Structure 1
Amino acid sequence: MGSTNAYGEEEINVLITGFGPFKQEYPLNPSWEIASRLPSVLPSLRAKQPSTQKPPFIPRVNLHVHPEPIHVSYKTVRALVPKLWAPNFADSDSDSSSSVPTVTTSEAPFSEQDANPENAEESEQEGKKPKYDFAIHIGMAGPQPRWAIERLAHRDGYALRDVDGEFLRDKENQLRDDWVWKGCPTELRTDLNLDVVLKKWRGYAPPEFQQSASGGDDQEGGSSEGGKKGAKGGKERKYEGSKGNGGAKWYGNDIKGAKGDKLVISEDPGRYLCDFIYYSSLAELYKRKMERKVVFLHVPCELGKDGEYVRIGQELVLGLVRSVAEWLVDEKRRKGDLKR
């Protein structure tokens, strides 16, 4: 996985991002309010943590939160994502890396070191930034108190303007040999087993988030064995922004599970910047034939009364990080790769 810690165990490194303001309606984006308040290391489980009689072993988990909220624009995301994953590609063939076109922008920092020059000396002493074992992109959805992990992302269909009033205009570039997503499929899915992750995630959540409203722990269409299938929630409208020229809209996720579930798996990130950054990350890994250990988390667009959704969101994100980390360790153990 990542680097080795003082106890001889491998560390797990997680990349986490959040978005910046969305027009005038949301000057504070809850995705960044949550991400920016996360600790740098996953805390130990508290005594009497829900559903954790004997938690499985995981090594130290380092949380690398991108130092600035990501501007809600196609240009920024397209330029930034390859740089976010650059540490993972450091050992790749230089010719292969140079063949991937990028767009130059000054709207977002290229790395934590670029954004924080005072950390440059420390970074140089470390030699290089760690490779990320997985990533969690966070973005806001509708006002309902529901947190959704997205299973897939789309290459096409981005017909809405971003916060700068710009369209993606990818359709006119798709026939070019230097198109950034040349050869990528129209849909990419995460390689994380979200059905297993969801069950673990609910176990680490506050009591009101743990059980599926259908009475079972598994979602309809899930791969877990022996669980009940929940009722399909279907399409649900999440949020509609300003209806003026190019106003952004989200059409609700294709939620798998019962209507009252608060932690769910979604099959439709919405074909806007959330979908776009998710596909961008998945595509970077796909192009280099690397495992796509990425997940997108949709959080409520409201901060909640007195910031309650932000506080809950922090706890839920830490639970999600732990759940994915446990799954990674389980997979390494199953493959005989765990050094312990």
Structure 2
Amino acid sequence: MAQTTAKYHCLVTAFGPFYRYTEDHNPAWLAVEPLTNSIIEDEQNNVRPIHVSTLQIPVSYQAVMDVVPLLHQHPPVFHPSIADQAAANHVARPQKGYDFILHVGVAGRGALRVERVAHKFGYNMKDIYGRQAPVVETAPVAVEPDDPGDVPAGVLHIAPPQGESPQIEEPPEPQPVEPIRPKRGFGPGYENFQEEVYSDVNINNLIRNMKQQGFEDVYLSMDAGHYLPDFIYYCSLAEVIRSVKPYERRRGTQVLVVHVPPVGQPLTSEQVTTALKLIITWVCSELQSIDDTLAKERFQ
């Protein structure tokens, strides 16, 4: 089926090589790649066809900042660093943007983790290029110097008895001071965004549906890890917030981050791919319900 016949457009990203995952062996990409330029159909649940595009994103803070905001444009724009890959993967560029963007990263052994919240700050770990997230400059706080003659209200000042000298204590030994880490994360252009942003997807219902479909190894997570998957989550959600105006009667792009385990710990790549299909199908079925409701309201 040609992608132009699809009702919904989903973009799935996965991270590329890093640390022990060389070449294309990142478990996230191994599970995502089979979805490249595919159509998901679920006639049993009357879900409209979904075209799935895939992209591999470098494990780099700068790459995320370069690539992700452009993917949220209408239509999406491909940064020069991924343009050749987008062409090779036949990545769609829907005029109204993607309906659903799913970012996939790798975590430790265990079940799939569907992340709920993304963080603005706290990115101290280095990416594959040995770089950290940008330092966010904070305005210095003006502090009035203390007046030695001031006595706090409610404190009784007792002078030494006449003829006696006040006792002067020896100054304490200086204690080692740990260096203060600079705040790293999202700075200029993100001043009006909260320190935590949340996905609009009803993750509890999503997980319940996945388990009803027979996929048990999945749970909701409130800690995306303050690394690249968390970073791309915040960047992506911020663009959704930025693009949707309060007066517009339309829904925004849905965004999720899912962490997958290393291959075989305990899930195979094929099992993870199946789980990603379940996630895509359920989210798009929810979008279909929203769209049908909005369509009815327009004709009333």
Report if TM-score (shorter chain) is over 0.5: yes
Among 154, 157, 169, the alignment partner of 2:119 is 154
Equivalent residue letter for 2:191: K
Corresponding position of 1:247: none
Q: Deviations over 1:233-261 (max 9, x none)?
A: xxxxxxxxxxxxxxxxxxxxxxxxxxxxx
TM-score (norm 2): 0.70
Aligned to 1:80: 67
Aligned residue identity for 1:22: F
Q: 1:308 to 1:185 in 2, by over 3 A?
A: closer
Of the three residues 209, 224, 238, the one matched with 1:283 is: 238
Q: Report the equivalent of 1:171.
A: 136
1:26 aligned to 11, 17, 21, which one? 21
Contact residue 13 and residue 130 of structure 1 kept, 8 A: no
Contact 2:14 2:28 in 1 (8 A): yes
Q: Deviations over 1:200-221 (max 9, x none)?
A: 22233xx3x34xxxxxxxxxxx
Measured in 2, the distance between the counterparts of 1:174 and 1:41 equals: 49
Distance 1:173 1:167, change over 3 A: farther
What SS does the aligned partner of 2:63 have?
Answer: helix
What is residue 320 of structure 1 aligned with on the other side? 279
Indicate how the Cα distance of structure 1 residues 317 and 170 shifts in structure 2: closer, same or farther if over 3 A, else same.
same
- Structure 2 residue 290 is the aligned partner of structure 1 residue 295: no
Contact preservation (8 Å) 1:196, 1:327: no
Q: Is the 8 A contact 1:329 1:338 kept in 2?
A: no
Q: Does 1:201 align with 2:188?
A: no
Q: Distance in 2 between matches of 1:170 and 1:269?
A: 20
Gaps of at least 5 residues in structure 1 are: 46-53, 91-104, 211-261
User: Which deviations, in whole Å up to 9, do the C-alpha atoms of 1:264-322 show, x marking residues without a partner?
Assistant: 1111101100100000000111122363510001100x2228x9621111111111111
Match of 2:222 among 267, 270, 274: 267
TM-fit CA distance, 1:56: 2.4
1:41 aligns with 2:38: yes
Could you say if the C-alpha distance between residues 319 and 77 of structure 1 is closer, same or farther in structure 2, counting changes exceeding 3 Å? same
Give the alignment of 1:89-238 within 5 angstroms. 108-109=81-82, 111=83, 114-115=84-85, 131-144=97-110, 146-172=111-137, 179-204=188-213, 207=214, 209-210=215-216
What secondary structure does 2:189 align onto?
coil
Give, in whole Å, the separation in 2 of the partners of 1:127 and 1:80. 14
- SS of 1:149's partner is strand
CA spacing shift, 1:127–1:165, aligned 2, 3 Å: closer
Q: Distance in 2 between matches of 1:37 and 1:62?
A: 13
Deviation of 1:337 (Å)? 4.5
- Secondary structure, counterpart of 1:131 in structure 2: coil
Q: 1:202 to 1:70 in 2, by over 3 A?
A: same
Structure 2 unaligned blocks of 5 or more: 141-186, 246-251
Return the index of the structure with the highest Cα Rg.
2
Secondary structure of the 1:196 match is helix
Distance 1:298 1:65 in 2: 16
Moved more, 129-138 or 10-19: 129-138
| Aligned residue type for 1:187 | E
Which range is displaced more, 185-194 or 330-339?
330-339
Q: Distance in 2 between matches of 1:174 and 1:62?
A: 46
Amino acid aligned to 1:282: L
d(CA) in 2 for partners of 1:202 and 1:333?
26
- TM-score normalised by structure 1 residue count: 0.63
Q: Which amino acid aligns with 1:190?
A: S
**More RCO (CA 8 Å, sep 6+):** 2
Question: Taking structure 1 as reference, are residues 44 and 77 closer, same or farther at Cα in structure 2, changes over 3 Å only?
Answer: same
Letter in 2 for 1:38: L
Please state how far the C-alpha of 1:154 moved relative to its aligned partner: 0.5
